[in-house]
Amino acid sequence: MIIRGRYIGDTPYLAGYLSIAHFQGMIWFLVDTGASRTTLLDRDARLLSIAPDLLIPSQLPIVGIGGSVRSFLLKGAEIILTSDEGDFVLQQDLWVVQHDLEQLPPEEVARILRLPSVLGRDLINRFVLTCDYQTGVVQLRR
């Protein structure tokens, strides 16, 4: 089974369809082997209109290049990846990051809202990952 992604610019991405009781939608996840957890960032959380009551505050903040941010768990999400053999469904608790956008200057808000959600090692390590920029191949294989 092969799940194919693509390069956007020089960055590998995989599309996933996210589904939970109150919302659903397609997300382009940046393939990030440096991220320990698959995480929805501000832009995608807003686009999906995730209700705040679905988010469980995390005991651990998420720390990235920009520092520490508020993090939440979204329990029982389904991530559906399309493969050459049909859909592959993963049940996964997802991390959701929320920056305090009200307290930031507009140029910082614009920068944060450009950041993509990331597919982390919690999911990547269930597969064989191939990223070959020269041939344009981005794929997960089981």
Domain containing residue 67: CATH number: 2.40.70.10
Would you state the pLDDT for residue 66? 56
The helix or strand, by DSSP H or E, that contains position 46, with its residue range, turns out to be helix 42-47
Q: Residue 79's pLDDT band (boundaries 50, 70, 90)? A: very high
Residue 102 pLDDT > 90:
no
- Residue 22: what pLDDT? 74
Total number of domains constituting the chain:
1
Beta strands per DSSP E along the chain:
2-4, 6-8, 11-20, 23-31, 39-40, 55-57, 62-64, 67-83, 86-98, 118-119, 128-132, 137-141
Whether the per-residue pLDDT at 136 is higher than 60: the answer is yes
Domain that holds residue 124: 2-141
Mean pLDDT over each residue of the chain, to the nearest integer: 87
The Cα–Cα gap between 16 and 76 comes to 15
Q: Is beta strand 6-8 parallel, antiparallel or unpaired with respect to 55-57?
A: unpaired
102 contact partners, CB below 8 Å, separation of at least 6:
none
Give the pLDDT score at 81. Answer: 94
| CA 64 to chain CA centroid, nearest Å | 14
Residues 74, 40: Cα–Cα separation, whole Å: 10
DSSP state of 36: S
Contacts of 72 (CB under 8 A, 6+ apart): 55, 56, 57, 58, 95, 96, 97, 98
What would the pLDDT profile of 37-75 be if each residue is shown by its tens digit?
899 988 888 888 887 777 888 877 666 655 567 788 888
pLDDT band (50, 70, 90) for residue 87: very high
Tokens of 85: 């053999």
CA quadruple 15, 128, 11, 35: dihedral sign: positive
Q: What is the pTM of this model?
A: 0.86
Instruction: Inform me whether the pLDDT recorded for 113 exceeds 70.
Output: yes
